[in-house]
Amino acid sequence: MNAISNLPAEIAVTRLPAFDDNYFWLVHGAGDAQRSVAVVDPGDAATVLAALESQGLTLATILVTHHHADHIGGVAALAARFGVPVFGPAREDIPARTLAVGEGDEVELPALGLRFQVFDVPGHTAGHIAYYGHGALFCGDTLFSGGCGRLFEGTPQQMLNSLDKLSQLPPETRVYCAHEYTASNLRFAAAVEPGNAALLEYQALVTTLRARNEATIPTTVGLEMRINPFLRTRLAAVRAAATAHAGRVPADDAAAFAVVREWKNGFR
């Protein structure tokens, strides 16, 4: 387990590694409520219970971004044990959900003294949502460092729109995604943009971090705008790479995004 990382604007977050490459997130309350936490995307109850016990924390809320098993596997057990509210996407089936939320909603967590905005970010799944507030973004499998989620249920246009929405957040926003995919994502990103100096510098840092088994998450919106090909598909270098890979000029922005996403799907 990693130590709490302090955030600006009152909150702190603890990373809980799980499975092969998942991260669950404990969001600590503000001020005197630091020992009360929300958990984001708890795919396994035992991992969360061990963290609560070892750190002397109280679970106050569960936040869910989408319905995949590695994000909801522990929700029902935790909700039954602690009797806490469960926020989840209105357009997906979430176990034990007590409050269905979507675009424009605000999630109030009075026990923690925190409030988050909800964004609809479909693409990876049809009803995927993200939570934003206090300098932090909890985006599940929509945006990764150097990458984005596979399009299991959504369209390229939907995912492009979702990433456009997240890219408008302040550049210092810390991005808490749900998987440690950064090293593999950057290998692909470097194939798309081999001349991107910021990307190559970041890739070297990530290689060092992973060699020490250290996490690369959180990232920031500003960093991702400089190195993530899925946030850069309108730029000339990425558009040229998409054209070369596809053997044709993409018809529009969504088509260019689709080429890059399909390229990543088969990249080894």
Q: How many CA atoms lie within 13 A of 102 on its CB side?
A: 9
pLDDT value, residue 8? 43
Both tokens assigned to 14? 């603890």
pTM (predicted TM-score): 0.95
CB 54 within 8 A of CB 30: no
SS3 263: helix
pLDDT value, residue 10? 56
The residue length of the chain stands at 268
pLDDT in tens, 80-91: 999 999 999 999
CA 27 distance to own-chain centroid: 14
pLDDT in tens, 240-260: 999 999 999 999 999 999 999
CB 65 within 8 A of CB 140: yes
Catalytic annotation, residues? 66, 68, 70-71, 124, 141, 179
200-214 mean pLDDT? 97
Peptide bond into 218 cis (omega under 30): yes
Both tokens assigned to 212? 């020490």
What is the 8-class DSSP label of residue 32?
G
H helix and E strand count, the chain: 9, 15
Domain edges within the chain: 5-265
Dist CA 58 CA 125 (whole Å) = 31
pLDDT in tens, 31-52: 777 889 999 999 999 999 999 9
- For residue 172, give every residue at least 6 positions away whose Cβ sits within 8 Å of its Cβ, in sequence order, or none: 8, 135, 220, 221, 222
Tokens 């993200």 correspond to 130
For domain 5-265, the CATH class is alpha beta
pLDDT value, residue 233? 97
